[in-house]
Amino acid sequence: MNRFSRFSWFLLVWTVLVIAFGTVVRATNSGAGCGKFWPLCGEDLIPTFDVFHTIVEFTHRMMSGSLILMVFALTFWGNQLYRQDPTRKRMVWLVLFFVLVESALGAGLVLLGLVEDNSSYLRIMAVSIHLLNTFLLLGVTTINAWWSNNQITRPALKTSGRPYVIGFIVFVAVIGATGAVTALADTLFPSSSLAHTIEEQLRPDGHILVYLRIYHPIIAIALGSLMVWVLANLIHTEHPVGQRIKLGIILSIGAQFLLGMANIYFLTPLGIQVAHLVLADVIWILCVLLSLVSTEKKNFSYE
């Protein structure tokens, strides 16, 4: 593995960690920890660390800032490396594009006041769009990392399996978007017990977020089960890479079901929320990798 490839894979891991800490910001209601200021925190470049919410929000901003700097480095390095390879050069530019969009969306949440106790329709749409862009960022970062070796042979799955793999990507995006809405509902309208959750669901005058959060587990169970069945019965590959990715997706979906049930039973503790999101990111990354290995074999080289 060359240096650029190691850096690309590290960037992918760091991106997941930044996203995971974003969950901490949302779950602890720290989105306004710096007030309605961006990129400044309050009226200072570096705030005083005497308020918990400020510490959490500022830490996330520092992590996000380091990610942007790393992506700029990736873009410069990739453009030098891929002078004769327009396909891979476009991919590093896409990583830069989506990380800047991600930053703009995060800034918009703060500047528009779509944080803390804001439960408006605009915030509901914003968190879903934010999640989808996060997946797009993870997707192009994954593709860049996969393509970053000097020479790569992409093992092909059977042709009949390729449409299903594309469907997986759509399924995970839908599950993720509904999950983002449910997570927001759990933050703004926390339940004291399972009985209270059911009672809130049956109230005729409840907030729309309360009614929407029931759809995520239903959609996740239905689409997740369908994905496992399709992987086990309709997608075949003799290549060890493809086999490992398939197994990874199946095991990750199974673990995600358990985390989802634990999240409901224990009333969404922070640790389980973070693990739930990280595993969702892992499933998305594995589905993107599966889509790559399901294409025709092709060698890349920039030497």
Residue 139 identity: G
Residue with structure tokens 């797009």?
A: 136
Count of Cβ atoms closer than 10 Å to residue 66 Cβ:
12
- Listed in sequence order, the residues at least 6 apart from 111 whose beta carbon sits closer than 8 Å to its beta carbon are 36, 38
Do 161 and 207 fall within a single domain?
yes
Do 1 and 113 fall within a single domain?
yes
Which of the 8 DSSP states describes residue 275?
A: H
What average pLDDT does the structure give for the chain?
88
**Number of domains present in the structure of the chain:** 2
Alpha carbons 273 and 269: distance in angstroms, whole number = 6
- Listed in sequence order, the residues at least 6 apart from 276 whose beta carbon sits closer than 8 Å to its beta carbon are 179, 256, 259, 260, 263
**Residues 43, 46, 47, 48: is their CA dihedral positive or negative?**
negative
- Helical residues (DSSP H) of the chain, grouped into ranges: 3-27, 52-81, 86-111, 121-146, 162-188, 194-202, 208-212, 215-233, 240-265, 270-293
**pLDDT, tens digit (0-9, with 9 covering 90-100), for 225-249:** 999 999 988 887 777 888 899 999 9
- Listed in sequence order, the residues at least 6 apart from 169 whose beta carbon sits closer than 8 Å to its beta carbon are 139, 284, 287, 288, 291
Whether 34 contacts 54, CB under 8 Å: yes
pLDDT at 79: 94
Whether 71 contacts 140, CB under 8 Å: no
Alpha carbons 103 and 157: distance in angstroms, whole number = 36
Picking from 134, 150, 166, the residue at the C-terminal end of a domain is 150
Question: In the structure, what pLDDT confidence band is assigned to residue 301 with cuts at 50, 70 and 90?
Answer: very low
- Listed in sequence order, the residues at least 6 apart from 289 whose beta carbon sits closer than 8 Å to its beta carbon are 142, 146, 245
Q: For the whole prediction, is pTM greater than 0.85?
A: yes
Which token pair is 28?
């602890």
pLDDT at 68: 97
Which token pair is 40?
């400044």
Picking from 150, 170, 204, the residue at the C-terminal end of a domain is 150
Beta-bridge partners for 299 = 153
302 falls within a domain: no
79 falls within a domain: yes
Q: Which residues constitute the domain of residue 282?
A: 153-297
Picking from 150, 182, 211, the residue at the C-terminal end of a domain is 150
Do 273 and 289 fall within a single domain?
yes
The answer to which of 32-46, 181-195, 218-232 has the lowest mean pLDDT is 32-46
- Listed in sequence order, the residues at least 6 apart from 298 whose beta carbon sits closer than 8 Å to its beta carbon are 153, 154
What is the pLDDT averaged over residues 96-115? 94
What is the pLDDT averaged over residues 140-166? 74
Angle at 207 between CA 202 and CA 210, to 5 degrees: 60
